[in-house]
Amino acid sequence: MKQDRTILCADVGGTKIKAALVNEKGQVEDFREISTEAHLGGPHVMLNLRKILSTYKGYEAIGISTAGQVDSEKGEILYANENIPRYTGTKVKVMLEEAFQVPVKVENDVNAAALGEAYFGAGSEAKDLLMLTYGTGVGGALLFGKEVYKGRDGIAGEFGHMVIHPEGALCNCGQKGCYEVFASTTALVRNAKALDEHLTDGKEIFKAIHEGREDVRGLLEAWAKEVSYGLVNLIHIFNPSLILLGGGLLEQPLAFELIEKETRKRTMESFQKVVLKNASLGNQAGLLGAASLHLK
């Protein structure tokens, strides 16, 4: 890694654009954020991105972590869903290099978060790792030797769309029974709401469990089992050293414990050396991963 470098980083999410200066030690300074205003579309999001980036000085390159499928060679958005209309096709790298006159690199947010963890977080000791993030859907990334495995089109790692229950409910992607339909945070909250309309998020769910609600704990256990199905498949395919689990729910020790127990129960003896860990960088993982694009 080259020394004494400062990278201006931004993480473009559906709600916020976060930005900061990151140095080669992974120290984050001058953290700022603004609303993405994603509903106003890709060109407007790029305006907001340029606006926040232009408030910084004293950097030699820009790293961008962004929602959507990214061609990281060209620094373009291959595909973004309706959360950011007209973002598909945006030439992020070219536009920002023209505006700021420094080298720009762009990576998908899930891959960037995994890179952040691999360089500066819970994965810094591992030579290979898988990372899964449980939220609205299930995001996935594969890293071999701290490089993202991209696949033919740069979009490998859609673990959320492994088919786990072929006869199951419809997924956003058009198929039935995808992993994320059962294992996302959304899935757990949906089931909890059906049980009790007051259980509208993870916080309420864990509050109910800590108050002794056995029925709610049962839902969490069923969800952990769904999470384990995907992990067991991945463990048997990749024989990974490390699997990092991210997302708000996973910060609850009980959730992590149940998932690990269910996963080990279904994993072949010879694959048990895999380590399961919480991702450690929280919502700074994307920024740090964006920095690593230039620091490696």
The stretch near Zn ion (CB under 5 A) out of 9-17, 39-47, 171-179, 248-256 is 171-179
* Residue among 47 and 173 whose Cβ is closer to Zn ion: 173
Number of residues that bind Zn ion (CB under 5 A): 5
Shortest separation between residue 157's beta carbon and Zn ion, angstroms: 14
Question: Min. distance of Cβ 136 from Zn ion in angstroms?
Answer: 13
Does residue number 173 form part of the binding site for Zn ion (CB under 5 A)?
yes
Q: CA separation (Å) from 141 to 1, 20, 146, 238?
A: 23, 23, 11, 12
Q: Is 287 exposed, middle or buried (0-12, 13-18, 19+ CB in 10 A)?
A: buried
In whole angstroms, the minimum distance from the beta carbon of 163 to Zn ion comes to 8
Q: Which helix (H) or strand (E) holds 22?
A: strand 16-23
Other C-beta atoms closer than 10 Å to the C-beta of 174 total: 8
Q: With 0-12 CB in 10 A as exposed, 13-18 as middle and 19+ as buried, what is 138?
A: buried
- Write the binding mask 150 to 169 for Zn ion: x where contact by CB under 5 A, - elsewhere: -----------x--------
Residue 145 to residue 156: CA distance in whole angstroms = 16
The residue range among 22-30, 124-132, 174-182, 288-296 that interacts with Zn ion, by the rule CB under 5 A, is 174-182
User: CA 67 from chain center: how many Å?
Assistant: 9
Q: How far is the CB of 263 from Zn ion (least distance, A)?
A: 21
Query: Does residue 250 belong to the site contacting Zn ion (CB under 5 A)?
Result: no
Q: How far is the CB of 164 from Zn ion (least distance, A)?
A: 10
Check if the beta carbon of residue 164 is closer than 8 Å to that of residue 179: yes
Residue 173 CB, nearest approach to Zn ion (Å)? 3
Residue selected from 92, 113, 171, 235 as contacting Zn ion according to rule CB under 5 A: 171
Choose between 123 and 157: whose C-beta lies nearer to Zn ion: 157
CB nearer to Zn ion: pick between 27 and 175: 175
**Cβ–Cβ < 8 Å for 163, 175:** yes
Tell which one of 70, 138, 142, 178 touches Zn ion (CB under 5 A).
178
DSSP labels for 117-158? HHHHSTTTT-SEEEEEEESSSEEEEEEETTEE---TTS----
Q: Which residues bind Zn ion (CB under 5 A)?
A: 161, 171, 173, 175, 178
